[in-house]
Structure 1
Amino acid sequence: MKKLITVITVFTLMLFDYTFDRLADVMNAFIEKLNLQRYSLYVMHYGAPIGFRLAMRHPERVESLIIQNGNAYVEGLREFWDPVRKYWNDRSPENAKPLARFISPEGVKWQYTHGVRNTASISPDNWNVDLRHLTKKGNPAIQLALFMTTKTISPTIRPGRPISANINHRR
């Protein structure tokens, strides 16, 4: 049975298009199923481009948009993203290899501790929980696909304008 589940999981990974647009489609279907007409979005990290897409699809439903550690513009992606930018331009195995460090124990810990004065104040549970999920079978390929789609964080949000100016308000 476990082998069958593994085969189904791998097959499903091959069929699903891991992009922010597709993940927004899934979330939108969930919102529709719940028949939510008004809601607030709290977004962070990869949830930000998904939430931005939801807000632009149905601005009349969004009561508030709370953003934590989320980026609306490719221009906001700092030097941390340089290896990813290189992969955007050339999807070779050679350029994909350095991206593995982002989901390595050291890389995930770095994301929690970089720039923090007192790293002892941060529980290792944070990066250990993330690491457990990030390294599950099939997930490295998903992360690589999401790295590729990061260049489309929000193609309709124009730099230099507040996010709210990019969302058509229909109230």
Structure 2
Amino acid sequence: MTAFATRYRTAEVDGVQLAYREAGDPAKPTLVLLHGFPSSSHMFRNLIADLADEYHLIAPDHVGFGRSAAPAVEDFEYSFANLSRLTLGLLDQLGLEKFFLYIHDYGAPIGLRIASAHPERVSGLIVQSGNAYEAGFTPFWKVLFDHAADRPAHEPEVRKLLTVEATEWQYTHGVPEDRLERIAPEAWLLDQAGMDRPGNKEVQLQLFWDYQFNLGEYPAFQEYFRTHQPPTLVTWGKNDEIFGEAGAVAYTDDLPDAELHLLDAGHFALESHGTEIAALIRDFLGRTA
């Protein structure tokens, strides 16, 4: 096995088993990859292979996703604050004192909690549809915010977001016709298989409900940007109807030196534009790592 090969590992953090992918030489700069809904570290499989020759990569599965533990909602507090705490615990256990963060979707409120609390440990940010501004919310979110305000009344509608049709839509919507053939069907089928496990839809509904509390953290995230000016690369699908491009542009308000790239892609831009994003990251890290 070469140093570039991906290793599939687990660690126990506060009694919870977390799965993670690791590749590259730990002596080289570390990039921590934090996935979004409804995916797992699987979304980074190609990026890891592209970058492992020069960088050390760690990609955890959040609790309730991928190969990490998925306890019932009665047995575990599914909140973004708790997922952040466990992620930081994993990084501490792995001895990672300094790292870059790649944040996508759910990975943004998780990673930015860590960054704003421990700015000295974060060398820089790579942002792909990782929202930190209210400007990034699109009409897609109306039913979710309605659900947060009145969960019983809106849960039937929100459950439609947990179907295979909705999962496929997340991967394919906004992708140009000539790129659709690059979208691997097993990606959304794997995500759906995770959600179709007994009890997992209740996990996802709980995290949908808890998402409202991330908005209260946005001022702290934005203050972190303004105060610490972390080097930041934004690679965002301009056709993303979950987190709109206004959310990408908003980063430049507080981070005027951020590098902004709006790609002709959707929410899962790594699937259709992975080669381009890997090249942008390699250039960015080559200048900042």
Question: TM above 0.5, one fold?
Answer: yes
After superposition, the CA RMSD in angstroms is 2.4
Determine the structure 1 residue equivalent to 2:108.
48
Deviation at 1:26, TM superposition (A): 0.5
Deviation at 1:13, TM superposition (A): 3.3
Deviation at 1:106, TM superposition (A): 0.6
Question: CA 1:41/1:10 → structure 2, altered by over 3 Å: closer, same or farther?
Answer: closer
Deviation at 1:147, TM superposition (A): 0.7
After TM superposition, list the pairs within 5 Å mapping 1:7-156 onto structure 2: 12-92=72-152, 94-118=153-177, 119-156=180-217
AA partner of residue 174 (structure 2): G
AA partner of residue 164 (structure 1): F
1:158 equivalent in alignment to 2:251:
no
Alpha-carbon distance between aligned partners in 2 of 1:57 and 1:23, rounded to the nearest angstrom: 14
As a proportion of its length, which structure holds more strand?
A: 2
Question: CA 1:11/1:76 → structure 2, altered by over 3 Å: closer, same or farther?
Answer: closer
Compute the TM-score of the two structures, normalised by the length of structure 1: 0.82
Deviations 1:15-53 (A, max 9, x none): 211111000011111122222211111111111110000
Q: What secondary structure sits across from 1:156 in the alignment?
A: helix
AA partner of residue 110 (structure 1): W
Which ranges of structure 2 fall in alignment gaps of 5 or more residues?
1-68, 231-289
2:84–2:111 contact (8 Å) kept in structure 1: yes
Question: CA 1:10/1:78 → structure 2, altered by over 3 Å: closer, same or farther?
Answer: closer
Q: What secondary structure sits across from 1:110 in the alignment?
A: helix
Alpha-carbon distance between aligned partners in 1 of 2:204 and 2:72, rounded to the nearest angstrom: 15
As a proportion of its length, which structure holds more helix?
A: 1
Number of corresponding residues = 159
Alpha-carbon distance between aligned partners in 1 of 2:130 and 2:227, rounded to the nearest angstrom: 16
Deviation at 1:71, TM superposition (A): 0.8
